[in-house]
């Protein structure tokens, strides 16, 4: 028996990176997947990959910062597969012009809070009622090492992203505490630097000093999308039945170095 047999999962930001990897992995483990993505082309591509592997998926174009879109994404996933058991709020990300509190444009703050924190809130806002109908389920949120660190040594500040991910971790604990009575668990994954396609392109612009710093900070090597997707799979499955309110670091020990 596969680890997510019979379960229905909704995964946001699933047209690329970690969420695409998780969508494919969850489907291989038996889940039917609502592939929720802003970019309809890449969302369709992920759903196509899952189907080509013999899995079940439906691509849903939606912006996680828009309440109507998120409500519809949940509805369309349930219409396609009958229920919702796993909600993986993965869409998010950090990018310039995020900077220090005094240097970032005000809009950079709004972007991080909207995409990383508000988008995560909206997923649960509309997902929890369906998880309740299914008799419970698992919510996985995306935090980051930046939820623990003020700044990453050797790199420009990302204060709005760090604050948004800190908010995601706090929200994760609130949901874990409130909805355990409904058999709903909520945990977050906090990755280090992950070698997604986007980050491989970012790395190409690093100085030698930045590369050395990153190697030092990642004694077990930088992350691969599958490292993070595997942690999310554990949190999605019944193997983590008693795990609730945890911010699971998947960082090779980066935050303790
Ligand atoms: N990659 C890393 O090094 C790393 C480290 C720590 C945490 N994270 C977190 O992991 C998550 C995934 O990161 P990634 O690097 O795989 O991302 P990515 O940039 O590779 O992919 C993000 C996907 O989300 C989609 N997206 C963007 N805005 C959206 C919106 N408003 N609505 C719906 N979809 C939207 C994009 O189109 C893209 O397909 C994010 O929350 C990120 O903050 C990533």
Among 60-64, 95-99, 126-130, 160-164, the range scoring the smallest mean pLDDT is 95-99
| Contact 148 CB / ligand 1 (< 6 Å) | no
Q: Does domain 8-249 have CATH number 3.40.50.720?
A: yes
To which H or E segment does residue 19 belong? helix 17-28
**pLDDT for res 143:** 98
Q: Which of 93, 96, 222 to mutate to test the pocket of ligand 1 (most atoms within 8 A of CB)?
A: 93
What are the start-end ranges of the E strands in 64-183?
A: 86-89, 137-142
Phi, psi of 4 (to 5 degrees): -125, 25
| Contact 137 CB / ligand 1 (< 6 Å) | no
Q: What is the CA radius of gyration of the chain?
A: 17
Nearest atom in ligand 1 to the alpha carbon of residue 115 is 31
Among 88-92, 116-120, 215-219, the range scoring the smallest mean pLDDT is 215-219
Instruction: Look over the chain and give the mean of its residue pLDDT values, rounded to a whole number.
Output: 97
| Contact 21 CB / ligand 1 (< 6 Å) | no
The percentage of residues in the chain with a pLDDT greater than 90, rounded to a whole number, is 96
Could you tell me the end-to-end alpha-carbon distance of the chain, in angstroms, rounded to an integer?
39
Which DSSP letter does residue 194 get? Answer: B
Nearest atom in ligand 1 to the alpha carbon of residue 116 is 41
**pLDDT for res 153:** 87
Residue 69: which of 122, 129, 16 has the closest Cα?
Answer: 122
Give the contacts of 49 (CB within 8 A, at least 6 positions apart). 20, 24
Which DSSP letter does residue 114 get? Answer: I
Nearest CA to ligand 1 atom 15: 17
Segment 133-160, tens digit of pLDDT: 999 999 999 999 999 998 988 899 999 9
| Contact 38 CB / ligand 1 (< 6 Å) | yes
Tell me if residue 161 is catalytic: yes
Question: Is residue 96 pLDDT above 90, yes or no?
Answer: no
Question: Is residue 95 pLDDT above 90, yes or no?
Answer: no
| Contact 43 CB / ligand 1 (< 6 Å) | no
**pLDDT for res 58:** 99
Q: Where are the domains of the chain?
A: 8-249
C-alpha distances in Å from residue 6, one per residue of 32, 107, 238: 8, 42, 12
pLDDT, mean of residues 120-131: 99
Per-residue confidence band for 168, with pLDDT thresholds at 50, 70 and 90: very high
Give ∠ CA 34-143-111 in degrees, rounded to 5: 80
pLDDT, mean of residues 23-29: 99
Segment 204-232, tens digit of pLDDT: 999 999 999 999 999 999 999 999 999 99
**pLDDT for res 221:** 96
Identify whether the C-beta of residue 76 lies closer than 8 Å to the C-beta of residue 47: no
Question: Is residue 64 pLDDT above 90, yes or no?
Answer: yes
- This prediction has a pTM of 0.98
């Amino acid at each position: 028996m596969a680890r997510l047999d019979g379960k229905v999962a909704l995964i946001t930001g699933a047209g690329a990176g970690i969420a695409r990897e998780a969508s494919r992995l969850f489907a291989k483990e038996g889940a039917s997947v609502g592939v929720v993505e802003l970019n309809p082309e890449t969302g369709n591509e992920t759903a196509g990959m899952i189907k080509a592997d013999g899995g079940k998926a439906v691509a849903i174009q939606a912006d996680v910062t828009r309440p109507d879109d998120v409500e519809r994404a949940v509805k369309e996933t349930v219409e396609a597969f009958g229920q919702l058991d796993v909600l993986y709020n993965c869409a998010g990300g950090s990018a310039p012009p995020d900077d220090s509190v005094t240097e970032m444009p005000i809009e950079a703050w709004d972007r991080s809070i909207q995409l990383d924190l508000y988008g995560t809130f909206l997923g649960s806002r509309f997902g929890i009622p369906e998880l309740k109908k299914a008799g419970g389920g698992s919510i996985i949120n995306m935090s980051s090492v930046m939820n623990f660190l003020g700044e990453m040594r050797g790199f420009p500040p990302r204060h709005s992203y760090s604050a948004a991910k800190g908010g995601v971790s706090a929200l994760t604990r609130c949901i874990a505490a409130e909805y355990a009575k409904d058999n709903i668990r909520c945990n977050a994954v906090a990755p280090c630097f992950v070698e997604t396609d986007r980050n491989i392109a970012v790395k190409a612009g690093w100085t030698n000093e930045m590369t050395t710093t990153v190697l030092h900070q990642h004694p077990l090597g930088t992350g691969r999308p599958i490292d993070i997707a595997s942690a999310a799979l554990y949190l999605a499955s019944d193997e983590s039945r008693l795990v609730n309110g945890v911010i699971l670091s998947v960082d090779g020990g980066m935050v303790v170095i």
